[in-house]
Amino acid sequence: MQITMLQGKIHRATVTQAELDYVGSITVDEDLLDAAGIKEYQLVQIVDVNNGNRFETYTIAGERGSGVMCLNGAAARCVSVHDKIILMAYAQMTPEEAKENKPNVVFVDDENKNQSCYKLRKTRSFIRHGEVRIKMLKGKTVVLGVTGSIAAYKIASLASMLVKQHCDVHVIMTKNATNFINPIAFETLTNNKCLVDTFDRNFQFHVAHVSLAQKADVMMIAPASANIIAKLAHGIADDMLSTTALACSAKKIISPAMNVHMFENPIVQDNLNILKKYDMEVVEPAVGYLACGDTGAGKMPEPEVLFEYILREIACEKDLKGKKIW
């Protein structure tokens, strides 16, 4: 008996080109193919995170180091340039081989540069697709900021995922967020007090926003409203969440969630660019039907996607960062 198992994956790559008048395939930077263990001309499945399309094609090796991720032929109609896609290759295995299978999972940045290949060999024994056994998350402190959005309820799932990986999870909510989900839900899941009020006299730390900011290994604000994005961009600290974010020196990941017209407003886009300038990572929202009835960009990605952003940031020490290799 043969079982179809995941062999390799390139996660959340950015589409650089979509060429309709070309023989069907996907052209991929050969360095990324090698890192994922995917062969040229191998059958692959593509998932577009922005529009939800799933389709199959085969790979063509592109220029090494170019970051090229080009959909060709009919497949070009399934994506748009700048969409985020997940590329997956599978292999046939016996049940015995499947037990030992450890897929190569490659994380890339916005320019399709490999962010984790050099770590995969070190962490592959901990990464099993579908299980996400990342022992390096044990003892890490994650601060989750939740603002007023219908997507706030999804963060309960994210908090649960992190706790299951033995993270110390702390949740800070804006007052508007409490209209969508009760703080008790997060306290039950994390076994930590959910903070809303900057001057909560019952909190165990003397200066709550400073103590949490110092403990954090990563801070994620999701869903991030236009309001909190504007506050972060301009250094406004007038509640527990914005105050903690301003005091936090750890990596901050921002996941916008709002109406498509708000998201596309030049003011919001300028504020997001300011956040990027200050080395905050902005998660591109998904495209689809929104709670307000409009269709377009503005949906918060699923908790599994947000989890992988956190995973990429804190699962491994970046001991090659800043090093020069000749």
pLDDT at 158 (0 to 100): 95
pLDDT at 130 (0 to 100): 40
> What domains are defined for the chain?
3-123 (2.40.40.20), 135-314 (3.40.50.1950)
pLDDT at 322 (0 to 100): 66
**pLDDT string in tens for the chain (326-residue length):** 899 999 999 999 999 999 988 877 999 999 999 999 999 999 999 999 988 899 999 999 999 999 999 999 999 999 999 999 999 999 999 999 988 888 888 888 888 988 754 333 334 433 444 444 445 678 899 999 999 999 999 999 999 999 998 999 999 999 999 999 999 999 999 999 999 876 665 555 545 557 888 899 999 999 999 999 999 999 999 999 999 999 999 999 999 999 999 999 999 999 999 999 999 999 988 877 777 788 888 889 889 889 989 988 887 666 566 666 66
Closest CA to 233 of 257, 208, 267, 197: 267
Residue 309: count other Cβ atoms within 10 Å of its Cβ.
20
Integer Cα distance of 90 and 103 in angstroms: 9
pLDDT at 108 (0 to 100): 86
pLDDT at 317 (0 to 100): 62
Question: Which residues are known to be catalytic?
Answer: 25, 58
- Terminus-to-terminus CA distance in the chain, angstroms? 47
pLDDT at 200 (0 to 100): 61
Closest CA to 38 of 82, 76, 1, 91: 91
pLDDT at 235 (0 to 100): 95
pLDDT at 125 (0 to 100): 38
pLDDT at 297 (0 to 100): 85
CB contact at 8 A, 183 and 196: yes
pLDDT at 209 (0 to 100): 56
CB contact at 8 A, 6 and 45: no
Task: Name the pTM for this structure.
Answer: 0.62
